[in-house]
Amino acid sequence: MKRILIIGATSAIAAACARRWNREGARFFLVARDAGRLEQVAADLRARDAGDVQTFVLDATHYERQEPMLQAALAALGRIDVALIAHGTLPDQADCERDADLALQELTNNGTSVIALLTRLANVFEAQRSGCLAVITSVAGDRGRPSNYLYGSAKAAVSTFCEGLRVRLFRSGVHVIDIRPGFVATPMTRGLALPGLLVAQPDTVAGRIVAGIDRRTDVLYAPVYWSLIMFVVRSIPGFVFKRIRL
């Protein structure tokens, strides 16, 4: 029976992952900042005959509350087999260009708050000498594009942090997986002009995530075709890249 901590449990992708893990009889400790939506996700799992679902309300940018949350998760679960970090926001790039305070807040939402959680969780997993740390970043972190370079830079920072953390924890039997989704049909992307053929459903992405965690994949693009798309994007020479808009 997997014991699973999900931070950002109200995200569409995280909730879809939880439903898949529930079919395996997992136990859950769900964390999110919106108490009402968090209870809806928990109630949905209980309605699907989930054995044990506990919740904790947390805004991950409130660093002083991260450690109490983690201690509550350990008290509830005993140990953590999988920790999925899925919280974040999708800022408006133009607004961040005009407002430095907003830019820093979005870097906190998508970057430093995740790194703080990873640092705390890494110490727990290192002591356990087992488990998987899974982090949802984004294909946006693969290259700085003018349409979303604030968001992308936060995700890139997390991906680089994960790479170093993966090497550190390898000797302890702990795995770190960097999950990089492309366009997904979620409330966060609702209203955006996205290419329909490249927009995946949350459950499709969740299936790839759950399988990737089981396989102990290092970097997981979801859906898989994004690995090819981003290979092409990364391969564009700089003198060409600065002349196109992506």
Catalytic residues: 151
**Strand 3-7 to strand 132-136: parallel, antiparallel, or no bridges (unpaired)?**
unpaired
Place of tokens 């992708």: 13
Q: Quote the CA–CA distance of 232 and 221 in Å, as a whole number.
A: 14
- Rounded to a whole number of angstroms, the distance between the first and last alpha carbons of the chain is 43
Residue 57's alpha-carbon distances to 29, 37, 186, in angstroms, are 11, 10, 21
Q: Quote the CA–CA distance of 81 and 79 in Å, as a whole number.
A: 7
Rg value, the chain, Cα: 18
Q: Quote the CA–CA distance of 142 and 233 in Å, as a whole number.
A: 8
